[in-house]
Amino acid sequence: MKRIAFFDTKPYDKIWFDEYNDGRYEIVYFEGKLNRNTVGITAGFDGVCGFVNDDINADVINSLVKNNVKILAMRSAGYSNVDLKAAEGRLPVVRVPAYSPYAVAEHAMGLLLTVNRKLARAVTRTRDFNFSIAGLMGVDLHGKTVGVIGTGTIGRVFIDICRGFGMKVIAFDPYPAKDSGIDYVTLNELFSRSDIISLHCPLTDSSYHILNEAAFSLMKKGVFIINTSRGALVDTTALLNALNSEKVRGAALDVYEEETDLFFEDMSGTIIKDDTLALLISNPNVVLTSHQAFLTEEALQAIAKVTLDNLDDYFADKPLKNAVTRSNPNK
């Protein structure tokens, strides 16, 4: 029986992997993240399963190869934390390209509604029997223009949701979806026309800090920013400046560029030595969740099934339909 080491695992991961595994693999779950300090424990395993905040750099890849690990299976769509150059030709890397686009798109809209209509603040007030609605005013979303950056599966589902709200949609994607009926514009035009900007693109060299000082300078005053993709798509310092100047009316975030050692963990008893994050969370016009947009039963089921299918394909010497390589990262 092949042995698979799972890193950065939580109780909700185990439920569906244990159910769908059905004795195919010996799965050993580790709570710690995969990095240069933990990679040593992969000796004796045939495969490794990683997640979005593991640090799978060249040193880790080299150690996995040295430990005779045969495959790296990412149980996520994203893989920007994997050094594909170091892995190419030495260690196959597979991913879950799509699990539940509805989970992420619905969460994005939920965050927008929360920050716009001050829902979190309203709930906190009523729990204290404070029924004042002063300071809770939002704006109608109907008729507003939303700019969607990235029109893959999740982006297109989010577009459908926005249209259901009666919103106008424009989009930017270097690879436009053919025959989609989506109104594509340049990135600068999207910045200048949008009342709401939502990020649904992967993190690449070209998309790193796609929302920076220059981008914010082109935006309307009072724009909303939504990010449920990757934290480093947004220059957090630039975002804070835009919030302070009221260029940005509100930020609805499920990711943060320095989240790796924080998100998915209970840090409530810890002094967080990240002043930027502290400023972000303390801003009344920011709603931040901790990378939970994917977290639905349907998504977790799909992640488990596709990850195990990826492992099955490799060990049965079948083509890896969900492989990613440096030369073809979006395969």
Half-sphere exposure of 32 (CA within 13 A, CB side): 9
Provide, for the chain, the percentages of residues in helix, strand and coil under a 3-state DSSP scheme, each rounded to the nearest 5: 35, 15, 50
Domain locations along the chain = 3-99+296-315, 101-288
Same fold: 3-99+296-315 with 101-288: yes
CB atoms within 10 A of CB 281: 14
pLDDT tens for residues 276-315? 999 999 999 999 999 999 999 999 999 999 999 999 999 9
Task: Tell me the per-residue pLDDT of 51-89, one tens digit each, with 9 for 90 and over.
Answer: 988 999 999 999 999 999 999 999 998 898 999 999 999
Q: Which fold has domain 101-288?
A: Rossmann fold (3.40.50)
Which is it for strands 145-149 and 93-94: parallel, antiparallel or unpaired? unpaired
Q: Which residue has the higher pLDDT, 214 or 23?
A: 214
Give per-residue pLDDT as tens, 228-266: 999 999 999 999 999 999 999 999 999 999 987 889 788
User: Measured in whole angstroms, how far is the alpha carbon of residue 224 from the centre of its chain?
Assistant: 18
Q: Is position 259 annotated as part of the catalytic site?
A: yes
Among residues 259, 265, 298, 326, the one annotated as catalytic is 259
Q: How many CA atoms lie within 13 A of 26 on its CB side?
A: 6
Q: How high is the mean pLDDT of the chain?
A: 94
Q: How far is CA 176 from CA 142, 180, 200, in A?
A: 25, 8, 13
- Which range, of 88-102, 206-220, 306-320, averages the lowest pLDDT? 88-102
Which amino acid is present at 55? D
Nearest to 26 by CA among 2, 54, 46: 2
Q: Model pTM?
A: 0.86
Q: Which of 95, 200, 230, 249 is catalytic?
A: 230
Tell me if 161 sits within 8 A of 103, measured CB to CB. no
Core vs surface per residue 212-221: b (16+ CB within 10 A) or e: eeebbebbbe
User: How is domain 3-99+296-315 classified at the CATH fold level?
Assistant: Rossmann fold (3.40.50)
